[in-house]
Chain A
Amino acid sequence: MADDLDMLRASIEAAIAEAADPRALDAVRVAALGKSGEVTALLKGLGALPPEERKARGAQVNVLKGEIERALENRRVTLEAFALDARLAAERMDVSLPPRPFAPTGPEAGSIHPISRTMEELIALFGAMGFAVAEGPDIEGDWHNFSALNIPEHHPARQDHDTFYLTAPPSAEGGAGRRPVLRTHTSPVQIRTMLTQEPPIRVIVPGRTWRADHDATHSPMFHQVEGLVIGRDIHMGHLKGTLIDFLRAFFGIADLPVRFRSSYFPFTEPSMEVDIGWSRKTGELGQGGDWLEILGSGMVHPKVLANCGLDPRVWQGFAFGMGIERITMLKHGIPDLRPFYEADLRWLRHYATSPLSPFTLHDAA
């Protein structure tokens, strides 16, 4: 490139670097690229050159113009960042001051999400039956989520789970079989409980669960409650009694019809699905002669017990699982699943409950 252009570039770039605020920077831009700027003048002057010189010179001047434009833009971004930092520094406040008192009323009052409300009810009702709450992580290894629950890699049931996998680290801890997944059910907490707690066991596990399914009736994240009871002589009659007691108390219908159907889950045997009576036409629970599937259950499979070190000749028990959103929608007549996760203030205010009305056994349903 011609020396004169190099010099011009050096001087303009120096001016850009010196510009301390947007106004100064704009002045540099005008002096270089404005109507009568130095670079503009060079471009205008091209016409006077002989054609063979014009092409080479024109290209050089355009390169210079591009470089200056970029330098101006870079400086502008830097100055903006400086300005923001300066503003933020000036905006410093004393965050050690005591906060204000705060007591909102009326529409501004806060509220508890229906899912949390149902969880509270579950904890209170099962708590009255002697259940404690157990918890576990959302991100599980596939051993806890599947293998230990008698669902091996090749099992057809594994595909039905629409599992979200997390990117496995190159040298996965614990080797194969511990691939990280977002738990597809709360059942892995059964495993965690049986591995850390000596029977007898009575726990429920409310929590978040995840499946790769997203439509009007499925959300990729949802909530389940799991139940696990282990003892020496717990049998299917107890499973039925527990679920009937719970369902009637939760829905507040003393004679709610409950039906048990044989089914299959890899982690229970015998397995049962449970239906409650309702009317398909009106959506009303407890009458109408139709049946609505509401949960899955069964006697804990001997292999699941053995995977956790419990001898199935000594210990036996039952497990069940149900969707928290589902029973919440049924109980309160909420028609649509998706708004549960949209945090729309209007929906929250409509369906949520007051923080000052905690659930007690006396106000069941």
Chain B
Amino acid sequence: MKFTLSWLRDHLETEATLEQILATLNTIGLEVEGVEDRAAALAPFRVAYVVEAEQHPNADRLRALKVDVGDGTLRSVVCGAPNARAGMKGVAALPGAFVPGTGITLKAGEIRGVKSEAMMLSSREMGLGDDHNGIVELPEDAPVGTPYAEYAGLGDPVIEISVTPNRGDALAVRGVARDLAAAGLGTLKPWSPEPLAPAYPTPLEWVIEDPRACIQVLGRAIRGVTNGPSPQWMQDRLTAIGLRPINALVDITNYFTFDLGRPLHVFDVAKVKGRTLTMRLGREGDEYLALNGKTYRPTPEDIVIADEAGVESLAAIIGGESTGCDETTREVFIECALFDPVRIALTGRRHGVHSDARARNERGLDPAAQRAMLEAATRMVMQLCGGEPSTVTEAGAEPAWQREATLRFERIAGLGGSGVPPEAAVNSLERLGFSVLAHDAAEVTVAVPSWRNDIASSRSAYRAGGTELTQEPGIDPARARAAAEGADAVEAECDLLEEVLRLEGLNAIPAVSLPAEGRLPLPSLTPRQSRAALARRVLASRGLQEAVTFGFTARATASFFGETPESLRVENPIAADLDQMRPTPVATLLQAAGRNAARGYPDVSLFEVGASYAAPTPEGQLATAAGLRLGRTPRHWSEAQRAFDALDAKGDALAVLLSLGLSPAALSVTTDAPGYYHPGRSGVLRSGPKLPLARFGELHPRVLSALGIDGPAVAFEVLLDSVPEPKRKNKAAPDLAAFQPVRRDLAFLVDSTVQADALLRAARNAERNLLAEVSLFDRYAGDRLPEGKVSLALEVVLQPRERTLTDAEIEAAIAKIVAAVTKATGATLRG
């Protein structure tokens, strides 16, 4: 919402400076978005009179002028403009002035032997428009020497505020003035247009065909009007706020929209077919050409205004071309209507029309000001265009908007934390237009002014932005009822409290730290919630950079990583390649790694803790710690560089799982990772035989080539939601046996298809009492072994508990382990 300072002063009697006005607007909730002071840039330019104009002696296209800028000296000016001539008035800049259109600071000089001591300006040079066909020509009565900005009415700063959706009343200069006056910045000027005596019967009648279509509508014609351009002051104000002046009648409706927050519509009576204008809902086949040049097809939910020829406008949103007013209009009909704000909001959204009329209607108009608005509009039309008024036609009735609200003074401190005294609170409300109905030491009851549709709105029959309770159906009925009654009891009071605090100042409320519940707070994260942070630290300390990537990607990309159900497709994507929720963060990490490779950084290790989306339900959005390694290990003198492989990804996943409290012995590996992994170089880490906790492996070459990435790349996903919570119990006492452990290395020859894990598990299970540890320390596959065989070497640690073991006992235990391994895997002990 924009307005100029002088416009505001039309409604507000004030001594306040611009700075004070801006600061107050900010505190009371009418946030200042910007102030444009157009006069500042134009300050050095003066109205000037061209006394003489002669041909330049040395240049065909130039003229030598003598110019009076009002300081008593005639200045010589060389000018190339074709319209420069003696006796004209224009705008001059003197040396030292910055000329915005050229970006140059003017200096006195000489052009081809003639002195030039000033410059005559075009519109473009002043930064006021595109016109550069010649210098600006001003009327003969323009006072020489006056600052041009002052003369042209540009000395008026333009203020832009952002008006929140509840404050329909502040989408009017008068509404802003009222708020400022209430905040103590002056007095609101009176405004009460007297009714005019009609000169003839109205040529058109209103009919409300469906009560849903319109609450109340008034109308009146004015005949004998002349619809030329509107006066300069009105054009200046409209231009200042970014509107294009069209003709007086249209400009008046635009002016009313901003001045009083009252959208009006004007019909050219001669163009209306028949004698009635009908408010009704849209019908099959309705269609009309709107003033914005677009054709709209109203639906049965929309409100339309129709004459005998059909739809003339989408009510309260945008008018029609066929009955609009232009220079030929001799008789005009003013519409002043009140509609259901909710219906207007939905219609506007349905047709995607954003208009100043819609913005005000959907936030609610002043339902009690209908007649006054029509009178004021009639007077302005007669003042600017002449003519005489008809009788008023009307249909519908003023809605029952009247309502009360009560503020218990105890709530000022109880909810507001504020020390504003009751008298001051009542005063604030009165300044805002509330009238006191009852007032005692404990509370005040006020009548809500007609223009504040946001206050106690549930109690009004004209509801703008009104909201309904929408309680969760699962709530116990008695509890839900009490809550609903409670909301009904205190909502209006909250509205009043907000008004009081907004005027009395939020900054005056003493800040109070939250009371502590104890000396030390309880943990802010549950064990389940701390997993994400733990996973981050573990992965980052393993050399992966944490990334944050978008949760959606291109559908084609997502399809390589699993299902792409329709229910996870974004209906209105912001870009075609962001239209599907990712099945796994691996998808977006791989794309991120590819971007790094393309920048010349081919070795990439990234991870992300974020959701994998399997379904739109809360359970279908799985917290995942995913990572991706592309390229090769870091170069280092101590170790040969090599490509990342599946075991690196496994190590990452395993490190996360171990940090979350799982023991390696509880985990097993199966080789059934999803299809985007290399079938032979990937696995699933499970707790016990069943529950999958993580997947890892090399990515499938087909996926890499489809995304244009040079592999190999390895990835992992830890399914954080599936990891069981560690049981909260005290650990058993540690086993600190008093006897020396016995270590033996056992090398087995085994088919290369057998998993090393199978050997470890067999060994572990064979001798549970004595065996403390078993680990794989060597693997050899090569020429010295038979085809298809590998050598796997295990270290076993036996821990005697009661006494030192004899050699025979040791051998027996080892033999038992070897036999178990052989039986389970077919491995044989190497000599």
Contacts and interface: CB of A to CB of B under 8 A. Distances in A.
Nearest to B752: A94
A90 to B, nearest CB: 8
Interface in B445-498: 465, 467-472, 474-476, 479-480, 482-487, 489-491, 494-495, 497-498
A137 B164 contact: no
A312 interface: yes
A306 B112 CA distance: 83
B545 A111 contact: yes
Contacts of B291: none
A225 interface: no
Nearest to A218: B574
A302 B494 contact: yes
Given A93-B646, A241-B511, A235 B471 contact: no
Given A152-B468, A356-B541, A270 B362 contact: no
Interface string A139-156: 100010001101111111
Interface string A228-247: 01000101111111101100
A302 B648 CA distance: 54
Contacts of B572: 164-165, 212
Given A212-B572, A305-B487, A95 B683 contact: yes
A129 B359 CA distance: 42
Could you say which interface size class chain B belongs to? 35 or more
B596 interface: yes
Contacts of A120: 533
A26 interface: no
A271 B498 contact: yes
Contact of A109 (B495, B537, B543, B607): B543
Interface stretch (B24-32, B312-320, B374-382): B24-32
A96 B26 CA distance: 66
Nearest to B592: A343
B342 interface: yes
* Listed residue (B413, B415, B551, B776) with the most chain A CB atoms within 10 angstroms of its CB: B415
A259 interface: yes
* Listed residue (A89, A344, A346) with the most chain B CB atoms within 10 angstroms of its CB: A344
Contacts of B349: 154, 159
Given A309-B476, A349-B545, A269 B616 contact: no
B487 A306 contact: yes
A263 interface: yes
Interface stretch (B138-146, B394-402, B516-524, B726-734): B516-524
Contacts of B342: 154
Interface stretch (A13-21, A33-41, A97-105): A97-105
Contact of B596 (A167, A237, A343, A354): A343
B551 A208 contact: yes
B509 interface: yes
Nearest to B475: A309
Interface string A287-326: 0000000000001011101111111111010000000000
Interface in B545-587: 545-552, 566-575, 578, 581
A95 B669 contact: yes
Given A167-B567, A235-B416, A310-B483, A345 B604 contact: yes
Contact of B567 (A116, A148, A166): A166
A95 B646 contact: yes
Could you say which interface size class chain A belongs to? 35 or more
Interface residues of B, dominant DSSP: mixed
B88 interface: no
Given A96-B755, A110-B539, A244 B525 contact: no
Contacts of B416: 235-236, 270
Contacts of B512: 235, 237-238, 240-241
B502 A262 contact: yes
A288 to B, nearest CB: 17
B29 A263 contact: yes
Contacts of B507: 259-260
A355 B165 contact: no
A89 B511 contact: no
A100 B550 contact: no
Contacts of B547: 113, 343, 348
Nearest to A258: B511
Interface residues of A, dominant DSSP: mixed
A95 B27 contact: no
A91 B484 contact: no
A24 interface: no
Given A237-B511, A262-B502, A139 B679 contact: no
Contact of B681 (A93, A137, A150, A309): A93
A139 B616 contact: yes
Contacts of A278: none
A281 interface: no
B618 interface: yes
Nearest to B502: A262
B570 A240 contact: no
A214 B517 CA distance: 43
A333 to B, nearest CB: 19
B299 interface: no
A240 B542 contact: no
A213 interface: yes
Given A95-B697, A165-B570, A306 B536 contact: no
Interface string B350-388: 000000000100110000000000000000000000000
Contacts of A135: 529
A107 to B, nearest CB: 8
B601 interface: yes
Contacts of B31: 261, 263, 273
Contact of A221 (B167, B494, B541, B551): B551
A111 B546 contact: yes
Contacts of B680: 88-93
A50 interface: no
A127 B521 contact: yes
Given A156-B465, A235-B415, A306-B469, A343 B606 contact: yes
Nearest to A264: B164
A138 B621 contact: yes
A309 B775 contact: no
Interface string A32-55: 000000000000000000000000
A182 B621 contact: no
B498 A306 contact: no
A112 interface: yes
A84 interface: yes
A299 B570 contact: no
A311 B486 contact: yes
Contacts of B618: 136-137
A272 interface: yes
B415 A236 contact: yes
Interface in B133-159: none
A238 B647 CA distance: 53
Contacts of A180: 567, 616
Interface in B735-753: 752-753
The 6 closest A-B pairs by CB, nearest first: A237-B417, A99-B651, A127-B524, A96-B757, A92-B680, A104-B543
24 contacts: A91-B678, A95-B669, A98-B756, A98-B776, A108-B634, A127-B521, A130-B514, A137-B617, A139-B617, A156-B363, A165-B572, A167-B571, A208-B610, A220-B574, A235-B413, A236-B417, A236-B501, A270-B498, A303-B491, A305-B483, A309-B472, A311-B479, A341-B549, A342-B592
Interface of A: 84, 88-100, 102, 104, 106, 108-113, 115-116, 120, 123-124, 126-133, 135-139, 143, 147-148, 150-157, 159-160, 164-169, 177, 180, 182, 191, 195, 202, 204, 208, 210, 212-214, 220-221, 229, 233, 235-242, 244-245, 259-264, 266, 269-273, 299, 301-303, 305-314, 316, 340-346, 348-349, 352, 354-356, 358
Given A156-B165, A301-B494, A344-B595, 18 more contacts: A88-B678, A94-B752, A95-B681, A98-B756, A112-B537, A113-B548, A137-B621, A237-B417, A237-B418, A240-B512, A241-B514, A262-B27, A266-B467, A302-B490, A313-B490, A343-B549, A352-B546, A355-B541
